[in-house]
Amino acid sequence: MGKSAESSDALRALRAAVEAAKPEEAWRAGRPAVGYFCSYVPVELLLAAGLSPVRLRGLGQEDSSSGDAYLSHLTCSLVRHIAAAVLDGAYDFLAGQISVNTCDHVRRGNDVLVAKSDLAYHGYISVPHSLRAGLFPWYLEELSRLKASLEDHFQVRVGGEALNQAITRMNRVRERVQKLDDLRKGPAPRLAGADAFTALVAARSLPPERFVELADALIAEAETLDPIAGIRGRVLLIGGELDDPRFVRTIESQGALVVGDLLCFGSRGLGRVVEIGKDPLSSLARAYLHQIPCARMMDEFPQRWQALLDLYQASRADGIIFTRIKFCQIWANEVHNLRHRFETHPLPMLVLEREYGTVSTGQVKTRVQAFLERLETRRND
């Protein structure tokens, strides 16, 4: 049996960061930690303000009942788990949170946190639903207002130099994300998709320097590993919110290898470096607004489609697994639109709906098995 990543200390540390009941590393950094909801919040702004940015997640909470009481069972289970985690005290180390008008679920999650949590600070930005040039100044102004609000609440000043420093720190993270991506994509990957994904999720909780250290170690170790054997199909993972490497592991347990993703917690939001310049806030605004777009960007399906085709080709994928959390509407119709495009450009796709916090292992395995058989048949034909 060849050498696998299982014995990697770096991977264990990254896993621990993902599975931690509290993102303690950020907490121990000695700076106030601020949670944020969405990949359109520039973490560089928080770093420059001397804060520890923590991407809000369910933190392994199995019970979301305190969130359910306010948000109902018809709301996204990720948002319900986050609300529950905050209300139940799992995020008691946070000094505040920043929300976005990402979707109706996040907006209501924010309402609940504002009304019911003990968090001292609540920031908010309105991100346009289009990348049209005319809307850029609005987003920039929103970031500027967020900056002012952070400065006011935390009694700090966020200057251009601090911002550029934060951009530099995060660019190092972005470079590692790209490297991890490249490791997955190669003709004979040595790093399982679940392991690479673990690192990407950890990038949202760890201080940049700690992530860089662990990612470098993992990347270096990965080069010494044996190529993964017994791959029945190379797949891309696309869709909405997914922060659970167990889900990826379950997919891969059937012989699939996840060779790339276009996920919010994956490489979609961290895949490109940010330009350093005289106007760092504008640089940030441009980079964040023009990341590979989330499905909330109403006129950007063609860009997502192109990004998918590019990644499909670059990663030599055999198929696509689309996943979304039940009740998420903005990602729901990506399936309809993709199928529409598949009529002229057919690609095999499996759609898996999920509830946050649990992995229906048996069901996922059965569906992935059937999908892999389909891919194999297709290949043999």
User: Considering the complex, what minimum distance in angstroms separates the CB of residue 20 from other proteins?
Assistant: 27
CA distance 33 to 84: 18
CA distance from start to end of the chain: 32
192 and 5 in contact (C-beta within 8 Å)?
Answer: yes
Selection from 330, 312, 310 nearest residue 259 by Cα: 312
Selection from 303, 331, 321 nearest residue 105 by Cα: 331
Nearer to other proteins (CB atom), residue 76 or residue 225: 76
User: Considering the complex, what minimum distance in angstroms separates the CB of residue 229 from other proteins?
Assistant: 35
User: How many Cβ atoms from other residues are within 10 Å of residue 290's Cβ?
Assistant: 14
User: Considering the complex, what minimum distance in angstroms separates the CB of residue 145 from other proteins?
Assistant: 10
Nearer to other proteins (CB atom), residue 207 or residue 357: 357
What Rg value do the Cα atoms of the chain yield, rounded? 20
Nearer to other proteins (CB atom), residue 27 or residue 124: 124
User: Considering the complex, what minimum distance in angstroms separates the CB of residue 171 from other proteins?
Assistant: 29
CA distance 312 to 264: 17
Name the residues that contact other proteins, by CB under 8 A: 69-72, 74-76, 79, 101, 103-105, 107-112, 114-115, 126, 128-130, 132, 134-135, 138, 295-296, 298-299, 301-302, 326-330, 332-333, 335-341
Alpha carbon of residue 77 to chain centroid:
16
70 and 79 in contact (C-beta within 8 Å)?
Answer: no
Nearer to other proteins (CB atom), residue 225 or residue 325: 325
Compute the Cα dihedral for 205, 207, 213, 219 and give only its sign. positive
Nearer to other proteins (CB atom), residue 6 or residue 118: 118
Residue 267 has φ and ψ, to the nearest 5°, of -90, -5
User: Considering the complex, what minimum distance in angstroms separates the CB of residue 302 from other proteins?
Assistant: 7
Nearer to other proteins (CB atom), residue 93 or residue 301: 301
CA distance 294 to 306: 13
Exposed, middle or buried, 155 (CB in 10 Å: 0-12/13-18/19+)?
exposed
Nearer to other proteins (CB atom), residue 265 or residue 331: 331
User: Considering the complex, what minimum distance in angstroms separates the CB of residue 154 from other proteins?
Assistant: 23
User: How many Cβ atoms from other residues are within 10 Å of residue 313's Cβ?
Assistant: 9
State which H helix or E strand residue 51 sits in.
Answer: none
Nearer to other proteins (CB atom), residue 204 or residue 324: 324
